[in-house]
Structure 1
């Protein structure tokens, strides 16, 4: 596969993710989209918290998954799409603060499968980051329909 570095490809990855209702509901925002590398964030709100200011694991997983699989999508040829087929999340600290930042990256890109990962950080009001989770996943790459 060839890495597409065009701004339109990055925009397509952003649009594809933000077209998903759950991404919009979480308030996902892309901070960076580059070949094999994505950074996004979402606000820590009570809507997705099990106690005030502390996100549930589901929202942490979603942020990590979106970052990792979006990073994998940046390496796809135009017209291809991908989807998560497997992922493991390890939570190492509570997700407390004002924002959650997830940095996704590609571990190994193949034609059919891409192994990807993400580190998730809780960000406080002073912009200090604390690692709260790590994800490793596999995305299935799907060619355009004929």
Structure 2
């Protein structure tokens, strides 16, 4: 579901959690799409997310992939639950210094104690051309919501 149309109940639930993310607000990330087992997040290029040579910082790419995978996992859980990352592994495929990144997280397996996700991070240039940027695999654990 695209955030520009009437949001679904699932989108609203994920967005309520997403908006509590201080890091994502600071970096300028936005929630783009939420479906069962899937979440897409965008991150525009800015001085908040660059490294010393002008490209997107790997930490910003990793954080974006972590968030996309985490919220994809959260779509599989009850309203009173959240998730926490146990670990992730990311491969950086290419660097970019403009446009925006799009991370699409997908659930590979949603168990009771462990959820495994993957996230593809793509770079979108100003003309709309998409290029592979990073690939992540992640393990998450369901935890009770504390808010």
Is 2:125 the counterpart of 1:124? Answer: yes
Residue 31 of structure 1 contacts residue 41 of structure 1 at CA under 8 Å; is this kept in 2? yes
Partner of 2:15: 14
Q: Deviations over 1:99-138 (max 9, x none)?
A: 0100000010001110011000111000111101000001
In structure 1, the partner of 2:73 is: 72
Deviations 1:25-44 (A, max 9, x none): 11111111010011110111
DSSP 3-state at the match of 2:48? helix
Conserved? CA contact 1:35–1:74, under 8 Å: yes
- Scaled by the length of structure 1, what TM-score is found? 0.89
Shift of 1:144: 5.4
Q: Unpaired runs of 5+ in structure 2?
A: 1-6
Distance 1:78 1:104 in 2: 19
| SS in structure 2 of the partner of residue 63 of structure 1 | helix
Q: 1:96–1:122: 8 Å Cα contact kept in structure 2?
A: no
Runs of 4+ in 1 over 3 A off after TM superposition: none
**Which residue does the alignment assign to 2:108?**
107
Whether contact under 8 Å (2:11, 2:33) holds in the other structure is no
Q: Is the 8 A contact 2:50 2:97 kept in 1?
A: no
Deviations 1:30-82 (A, max 9, x none): 11101001111011112221133x11100000110000110000010121111
C-alpha displacement of 1:12? 1.5
CA RMSD of aligned residues (A): 1.5
Corresponding residue for residue 87 of structure 1: 88
Q: Answer yes or no: is the 8 Å Cα contact 2:10–2:34 preserved in 1.
A: no
Shift of 1:96: 3.1
In 2, distance between residues paired with 1:144 and 1:89?
A: 27
How many angstroms apart in 2 are the aligned matches of 1:30 and 1:22?
13
